[in-house]
């Protein structure tokens, strides 16, 4: 009987899919690329842990980087920066 392999998605890929975002990823899922009306944002998984680095490029207001400890907030922030999700105000975030 052949062995069955369970394929698990990389955390970045899983988070982008769950959010319903259009994205590109590396073959291993170590980074994702989100492109929208406001520019391009990359989320790269840390080599040393669960965190992520968010880099936005090609924006009219310049490029920025930010570090996140969790995958989901990094993907959401990247989607907002790329213009794929509306910005959330502090009042809405509670």
d(CA 53, CA 44): 5
Q: Give domain status of residue 2, yes or no.
A: no
Structural domain includes residue 61: yes
Domain residue limits at 73 = 11-79
The per-residue pLDDT for range 40-71, each reduced to its tens digit, is 999 999 887 778 999 987 766 667 889 999 99
- 88 inside domain: no
Q: What's the pTM?
A: 0.79
d(CA 15, CA 72): 6
60 within a domain of the structure (yes/no): yes
Q: What was the pLDDT predicted at 77?
A: 93
């Amino acid at each position: 009987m052949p062995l069955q392999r369970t394929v698990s998605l990389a955390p970045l890929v899983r988070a982008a899919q769950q959010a319903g975002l259009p994205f590109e990823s590396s073959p291993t899922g170590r980074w994702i690329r989100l492109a929208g009306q406001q520019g391009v944002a990359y989320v790269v998984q840390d080599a040393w842990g669960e965190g992520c680095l968010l880099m936005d490029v090609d924006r009219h207001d310049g490029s920025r980087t930010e570090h996140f400890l969790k995958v989901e907030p990094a993907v959401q922030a990247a989607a907002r920066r790329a213009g794929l999700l509306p910005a959330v105000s502090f009042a809405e975030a509670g």
